[in-house]
Amino acid sequence: MLIVTIPWIIYFSLNSAMADLINVYFLVNISSYSTQTPLLVRIFTAYKEGVMHAIKLPQYSIITLIGYIYVMKDKNIIPNVQGKIALTLAILFSMLGVFIGANHVYYFLILMVFIVLAVIFIAKMIEKLKYKKIINLIKYISPLYLIVIVVLTCVSSQNFSYHKKQKEDLVQYKFAEIIKEKPNATLLNYGFLDGGFYTVSNIVPNVKYFHKPNIEHERFPEIEDEQNRYIEEKVTDFVVIKVANEEDSYNIQNLYKNYEKLDSVYDIDRNEYYMLFKVQS
């Protein structure tokens, strides 16, 4: 933890921004994502979401569950009741901590650390085998299991459909070709999470609120208000938005007044439109 933390402490300290780091990363993150939903409902929802993710990944959850049961029964691995309770609470509280605030497909990766229980189970089974033929058989089964896991992971991944696409087909690269025509261009990723447009266009944002995190306007209005001000004052050369329908773009104040639409791309995988605008002279 220190290895990955110290460089950021040095960076923000040298730029006199430690207060910003603490305020945004901790205070705002902790307070602004909270919800008014009753605590018991949030707890129930968190465990329901965790179980649903486990069901979607049977190649992980089944072998991990077997490993958990084995570890709980084996007196040599965890010899006392306190240890068994601690392991169980670690799993339950991890699931609660991951899903009590929100539910994104990649959150379950945090819980996959518990596959170590399956590794312990498999290692113990191999250790108990005395027949050479069976051990030789495992040498062939183990790679086969690995192949099955890789295949199932690819099939179940929501991002797998992108592997057939060339980068030129992605909206980020299409917009980047247009943006790069203007030297030293500036860009605003309006109203949604950073979609990779800055990275592909090789642009460092020139505004503080360069994207819109999943925070409700009522809880932290400054983000959306500032992004609207950027459009009103023509602070950036380009604006990229993401909408369910192209007509929704007309709901953004001053967008069509100060910017002209250059391109619109429909993402069939996400069922959304990405639209690029350029500031009017």
Cβ contact 209:202 at 8 Å: no
> Average of pLDDT values for 169-175?
95
Mean confidence (pLDDT) of the chain: 89
Token duo for residue 277: 């605008």
Cβ contact 216:36 at 8 Å: no
* H/E element, 68: helix 58-73
**167-279 topology per CATH:** D-Maltodextrin-Binding Protein; domain 2 (3.40.190)
Going across the sheet that includes 187-190, the strands are: 187-190, 238-243, 272-279, 259-267
Residues 6+ away with beta carbon under 8 Å from 250: 256
Q: Confidence band (pLDDT; 50, 70, 90) for 146?
A: confident
Q: Alpha carbon 210 to chain centroid distance? A: 18
pTM over 0.75: no
> Average of pLDDT values for 101-117?
85
Question: How deeply is 98 buried, as exposed, middle or buried, from its count of CB atoms within 10 A (0-12, 13-18, 19+)?
Answer: buried
Sketch the domain layout of the chain as residue ranges. 36-128, 167-279
> Average of pLDDT values for 173-182?
97
> Which region among 14-18, 28-32, 105-109, 266-270 has the lowest average model confidence (pLDDT)?
28-32
- To the nearest whole percent, how much of the chain has pLDDT over 70? 96
Q: Confidence band (pLDDT; 50, 70, 90) for 190?
A: very high
pLDDT at 11: 96
pLDDT over 60 (residue 34): no
Q: Confidence band (pLDDT; 50, 70, 90) for 103?
A: confident
Residues 6+ away with beta carbon under 8 Å from 48: none
**Distance between terminal CA atoms of the chain?**
49
Q: Confidence band (pLDDT; 50, 70, 90) for 91?
A: very high
